């Protein structure tokens, strides 16, 4: 039995977690990188920066634990999804990754919706056609960068990119494949219907298997480059939020997870598909193919906060929280529409933009801060409302990720939803979950779910304050009306 590693690859940073042969977490490290935004609505990242981060992290955790490459027996990845990396036959990236928050493909989405009905798209892929899925990103590449499309041997999700780079064969778990909108969630195979409608080549896609399987071992050249061993086994892995469900203790239907980072993902396991024609929630397949999942992401919740902190508040997150504590629900009539990179919930709109509405001379920075927090919470409530209508009101929502550092936001969620919000002891559910599937692949656990009692511990429970629920209901209704009223303006100025 050797050490094993879980990698949490996010939008702006990567974290690595090293476990010893007894399953104890003994070292961790992180490395940052930044996406680029070449035009309004565009978002890309150089996959080479991800590889640099991985190399740095592996070197740091080995140094901290005083081990060598030969001591690492297994590694597993949990990565951002709906992000497409074109690679050559050796799995080297040949262009920037178009990441999940990119909304440039509205034209491709409109054209695809004329070739395949919304009903067919929904029942095949679990999602209505939107500009945020991989299918329209690959269409855009084919039409605007034909030389990249022709040169690409594979179009990889981020997880399958790492697996392919290390082993030579790009493989992804079922959830990441679902996010392409090219995968049939009923048959668990690539969809001829959608490939034909999109005029894309199926043989350019990655393989799909259970995210808990072993994909292979590290190739000699990659082992030397990254500081691993040719004997190191690589687990298939899957989407970050999907692995975070495991890392936050979710193993079956009836629980709801909120993982807050650059965006906020809301997920729950379900035993049969739920088809939401509006697209507030999407039906995908769990990492191991055992369940379906009802899930979606609220676009750049943490990204909105970081933008606001850096450009308007100009102070730290703790100072922002303290200043906003005195503001009542509804922010004294001030609303924020958090669509700085477009809108996903309650319905996708790539032309949507950020808006402060209702500013008066009586408002100040704490009101604006509170309004930004509320807007982020309202996008999550969009998702909770669909879950509640589809499978019933959850008894508790499990919270993890960096966003749970804010007690203000945690309490706001409990009060706004009227549901207890259980924060986990560790905010690193994604990395811990990746470690759990690596540990199971290494043989320490018979199945990843058996590791839950070992690694998953509860933190603070935030109970809802019933006295605030009516005020949040009123503010949420105003938020919905405001964003709906602005839709025609978003379309009018989409190219401004």
The pLDDT, as a whole number, for residue 104 is 94
Contact 435, 419 (CB under 8 A): no
Q: Where are the beta strands (DSSP E) in 323-408?
A: 335-337, 355-357, 397-400
Q: What is the pLDDT of residue 325?
A: 96
Does 174 fall in a domain?
A: yes
Domain assignment present for residue 135? The answer is: yes
* Burial grade of 388 (CB within 10 A; 0-12, 13-18, 19 or more): middle
In whole angstroms, give the CA distance from residue 344 to residue 324: 26
Tell me the Cα Rg of the chain: 22
pLDDT at 251 over 90: no
Q: Tell me, yes or no, whether 221 lies in a domain.
A: yes
Distance from C-alpha of 78 to C-alpha of 99, rounded to nearest angstrom: 15
pLDDT at 299 exceeding the cut of 80: no
CA distance 236 to 77: 7
Residue 224 belongs to a domain: yes
Q: What is the CATH number of the domain that holds 91?
A: 3.30.420.40
Which residue(s) pair with 269 in the sheet?
Answer: 293
Mean pLDDT of 23-50: 96
How many CB atoms lie under 10 A from the CB of residue 24?
Answer: 9
Cite the beta strand spans of 80-163 per DSSP E: 85-87, 97-98, 154-156
Q: Which of 17-21, 119-123, 296-300 comes out lowest in average pLDDT?
A: 296-300
φ, ψ of residue 141 in degrees (nearest 5):
-60, -45
Q: Is residue 254 part of a domain?
A: no
Predicted confidence band at 496 (pLDDT cuts at 50, 70, 90)? low
* pTM for this predicted structure: 0.90
Average pLDDT over residues 447-468: 96
Read off the pLDDT of each residue in 460-470 and give the average, rounded to a whole number. Answer: 98
C-alpha 210/C-alpha 223 separation (Å) is 24
Measured distance CA(214)–CA(235) in Å, rounded: 4
- The pLDDT mean for the chain works out to 95
Please give the backbone phi and psi of residue 281, each rounded to the nearest 5 degrees, phi first. -125, 145
Tokens coding 487: 């839709």
Find the DSSP H helices in 325-455: 365-391, 407-417, 429-442, 452-455
207 in a structural domain: yes
Under 8 Å between Cβ of 403 and 380: no
With cut-offs at 50, 70 and 90, classify the pLDDT of residue 252.
confident
pLDDT for the residue numbered 59 = 98
Strands (E), 402-475: 421-424, 458-462
Question: What confidence score (pLDDT) does residue 470 get?
Answer: 98
Both structure tokens of 49: 């920066």
pLDDT category at 44 given cuts 50, 70, 90 is very high
- Report if residue 110 sits inside a domain: yes
DSSP letters, 203-240, are: GGBPEE--TTSEEEE--HHHHHHHT--TT-EEE--EEH
Q: What is the pLDDT of residues 173-228, one digit of tens each?
A: 999 999 999 999 999 999 999 999 999 999 999 999 999 999 999 999 999 999 99
Query: What is residue 468's three-state secondary structure?
Result: helix
Q: Which domain range does residue 90 map to?
A: 3-241
Whether 196 is covered by a domain: the verdict is yes
305 in Cβ contact with 325 (< 8 Å): no
Q: 157, 159, 165, 156: which is closest to 228 by C-alpha?
A: 165
Kindly give the residue spans of alpha helices, DSSP state H, lying in 276-364: 301-308, 317-324
Beta-carbon contacts of residue 347 (< 8 Å; ≥ 6 apart) = 278, 279, 280
3-state secondary structure of 273: coil
What pLDDT score does 494 carry? Answer: 76
Of the listed ranges 5-19, 193-207, 271-285, the least confidently predicted one is 271-285
- Lowest-pLDDT choice from 206-210, 242-246, 343-347: 343-347
Q: Per the omega criterion (within 30 degrees of 0), is the bond before 346 cis?
A: yes
CA 66 to chain centroid: 33
Q: Which of 10, 27, 456, 448 lies closest to 214 in space, CA to CA? A: 448
Query: Cβ–Cβ contacts within 10 Å for residue 42, how many?
Result: 17
Total domains in the chain come to 1
Number of neighbours of residue 199 by Cβ within 10 angstroms = 12
103, 320 Cβ separation under 8 angstroms: no
Q: Dihedral (C-alpha) 149, 155, 157, 158: value to the nearest 10 degrees?
A: -80
User: Mean pLDDT, to the nearest integer, of 230-241?
Assistant: 97
């Amino acid at each position: 039995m050797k050490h094993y590693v879980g990698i949490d690859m996010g939008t702006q940073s990567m974290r690595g977690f090293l476990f010893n042969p007894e399953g104890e977490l003994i070292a961790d490290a992180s490395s940052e990188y930044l996406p680029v935004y070449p035009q309004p609505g565009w978002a890309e990242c150089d996959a080479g920066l991800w590889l640099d981060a991985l190399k740095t992290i592996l070197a740091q955790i080995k140094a901290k634990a005083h081990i060598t490459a030969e001591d690492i027996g297994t590694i597993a990845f949990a990565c951002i999804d709906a992000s497409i990396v074109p690679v050559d036959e050796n799995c080297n990236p040949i262009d920037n990754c178009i990441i999940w928050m990119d909304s440039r493909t509205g034209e491709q989405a409109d054209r695809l919706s004329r070739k395949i009905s919304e009903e067919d798209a929904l029942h095949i892929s679990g999602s209505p056609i939107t500009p945020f899925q991989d299918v329209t990103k690959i269409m855009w590449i084919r039409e605007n960068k034909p030389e990249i499309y022709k040169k690409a041997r594979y179009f990889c999700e981020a997880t399958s990119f790492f697996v392919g780079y290390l082993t030579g064969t790009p493989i992804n778990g079922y959830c990441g494949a679902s996010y392409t909108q090219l995968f049939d969630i009923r048959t668990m195979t690539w969809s001829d219907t959608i490939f034909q409608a999109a005029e894309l080549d199926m043989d350019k896609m990655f393989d799909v298997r259970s995210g808990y399987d072993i994909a292979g071992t590290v190739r000699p050249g990659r082992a030397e480059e990254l500081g691993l061993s040719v004997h190191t086994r690589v687990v298939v892995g899957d989407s970050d939020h999907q692995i975070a469900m495991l890392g936050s203790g979710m193993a079956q239907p009836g629980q709801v997870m909120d993982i807050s980072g650059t965006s906020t993902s809301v997920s729950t396991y379900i035993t049969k598909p739920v088809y939401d024609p509006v697209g507030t929630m999407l039906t995908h397949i769990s990492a191991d193919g055992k369940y379906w999942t009802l899930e979606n992401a609220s676009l750049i919740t943490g990204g909105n906060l970081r933008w606001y902190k850096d450009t308007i508040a100009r102070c730290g997150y703790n100072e922002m929280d303290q200043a906003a504590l005195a503001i009542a629900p509804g922010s004294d009539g001030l609303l924020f529409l958090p669509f700085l990179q477009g809108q996903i919930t309650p319905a996708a709109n790539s032309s949507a933009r950020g808006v402060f509405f209702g500013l008066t001379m009586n408002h100040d920075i704490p009101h604006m801060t509170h309004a930004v927090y509320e807007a982020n919470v309202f996008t999550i409530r969009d998702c909770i409302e669909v879950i509640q209508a589809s499978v019933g009101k959850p008894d508790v929502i499990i919270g993890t990720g960096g966003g749970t550092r804010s007690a203000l936001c945690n309490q706001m969620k409990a009060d706004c939803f009227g549901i207890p919000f259980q924060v986990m002891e560790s905010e690193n559910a994604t990395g811990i979950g990746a470690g759990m599937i690596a540990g199971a692949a290494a043989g320490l656990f018979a199945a990843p779910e058996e590791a839950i009692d070992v690694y998953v511990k509860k933190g603070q429970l935030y109970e809802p304050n019933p006295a605030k629920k009516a005020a949040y209901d009123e503010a949420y209704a105003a938020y919905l009306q405001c964003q709906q009223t602005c839709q025609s303006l978003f379309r009018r100025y989409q190219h401004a």
